[in-house]
Structure 1
């Protein structure tokens, strides 16, 4: 595999991972708004805010 093909595969993989993280954050945010009284859902959003959002800010 050439260097450019390998680079493209790595780039595409990272792009997909970022999209998965963005989707997770959006779902967690929507869930926390609609189901805020459910403690397990609130914990999910807290996790997204504390762990996922700072990672996205770095990229």
Structure 2
């Protein structure tokens, strides 16, 4: 029975390690992505932000 518990703990540890590595690699990818926020804002909101526009009724 101890062997079964040890195997289960080891499997859980390996699973958590895999998840941790996946999260780390995901953040590395996201960190390396360059985003030109100024270009996005000027392209997407040429007429201003939705809150700046007058509401037409």
Give ranges in structure 2 of 5+ residues lacking alignment. Answer: 38-57
CA deviation after TM superposition for structure 1 residue 16, in Å: 0.3
Q: Which has the larger share of helix?
A: 1
Equivalent residue for 1:52?
Answer: none
Q: Which residue of 2 aligns with 1:12?
A: 11
Match of 2:31 in 1: 32
Residues 9-39 of structure 1: CA deviation (Å, up to 9, x unaligned): 000000000000000000000000014678x
Change (3 A) 1:22 1:8: same
The structure whose Rg is larger is 2
Q: TM-score, normalized by length of structure 2?
A: 0.58
**Aligned Cα root-mean-square deviation (Å):** 1.9
Distance in 2 between residues matched to 1:3 and 1:11, nearest whole Å:
12
